[in-house]
């Protein structure tokens, strides 16, 4: 019985660079992966016609995507904008919507945006040391509003899953634009 149990292990997280040693998977999303998500569609197409910049990378700790386990990863969002809107992650609900998540900022500056299906919205300004709790039933998207990479570490239940569908179809009700050199959170 005992030899069927998973063995304890550790990884190293580089707090400055945001990388994890021996990740299960490194996910890289470029501008074309976020089609239909930015506010300024025209500007999105104009940039994409010239280049396809890397927006963010995710380093996952190798753990099964199963009930009982805790998944974790770092996310590195690079600085940049499409029009006045800062680079962001796709954003998702959990497939099992009653699963929560914790994001802890390691480097840089960003925002965590959240909403519920019943129309509540929330945002948290993320700077190093800020550890945000995303309760069950809240979607989550992050963005980099600084000039350096924005890096955070996330932990969530192994069976949560990702549901991108409704955000792709309906859009995210909170957006952050640069206005007069500062980030402004807007409800759309
Ligand atoms: C965080 C976690 C991951 C997620 C990643 C990128 O690190 O929530 O589960 O994959 O952000 O976000 P998204 O999948 O919405 O692009
Ligand atoms: Zn999540």
- 147 C-alpha vs ligand 2 centroid, how far in Å? 25
Query: What is residue 3's three-state secondary structure?
Result: helix
Q: From the CB of residue 30, how many other CB atoms can be counted at a distance below 10 Å? A: 13
Q: Is the CB of 75 under 6 A from ligand 1?
A: yes
Contact 36, 90 (CB under 8 A): no
Q: Is the CB of 108 under 6 A from ligand 1?
A: no
Which ligand lies nearest the alpha carbon of 89? Answer: 1
pLDDT tops 70 at residue 2: no
Q: Please report which helix (H) or strand (E) contains residue 24, including its range.
A: none
pLDDT on residue 4: 84
Q: 84: closest CA among 25, 42, 127, 129?
A: 42
Which ligand lies nearest the alpha carbon of 29? Answer: 1
Contact 56, 151 (CB under 8 A): no
- 89 C-alpha vs ligand 1 centroid, how far in Å? 7
Q: From the CB of residue 35, how many other CB atoms can be counted at a distance below 10 Å? A: 12
The runs of H, that is alpha helices, within the chain are: 41-50, 165-170
Q: From the CB of residue 54, how many other CB atoms can be counted at a distance below 10 Å? A: 15
Candidates 37, 88, 89, 159: which one to mutate for ligand 1, based on the most atoms within 8 Å of Cβ?
Answer: 89
The pLDDT tens digits for 55-113 are: 999 999 999 999 999 999 999 999 999 999 999 999 999 999 999 999 999 999 999 99
């Amino acid at each position: 019985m005992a030899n069927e149990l998973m063995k304890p292990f550790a990884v190293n997280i580089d707090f400055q660079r945001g990388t994890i040693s021996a990740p299960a998977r490194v996910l890289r999303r470029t501008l074309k992966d976020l089609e239909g998500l930015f506010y300024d569609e025209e500007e999105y197409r104009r940039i994409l016609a010239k280049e396809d910049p890397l927006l963010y990378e995710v380093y996952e700790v190798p753990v099964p995507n199963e009930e009982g386990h805790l998944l974790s990863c770092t996310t590195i969002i690079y600085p940049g904008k499409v029009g006045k809107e800062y680079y962001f992650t796709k954003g998702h609900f959990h497939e099992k919507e009653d699963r929560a998540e914790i994001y802890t900022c390691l480097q840089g500056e960003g925002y965590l945006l959240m909403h519920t299906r019943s129309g509540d919205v929330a945002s948290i300004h993320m700077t190093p040391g800020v550890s945000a709790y995303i309760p069950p039933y809240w979607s989550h998207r992050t963005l980099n509003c600084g000039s350096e990479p924005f890096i955070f570490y996330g932990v969530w239940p192994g069976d949560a899953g990702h549901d991108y569908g409704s955000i792709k179809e309906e859009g995210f009700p909170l957006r952050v634009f640069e206005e007069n050199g500062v980030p402004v959170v807007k409800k759309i």
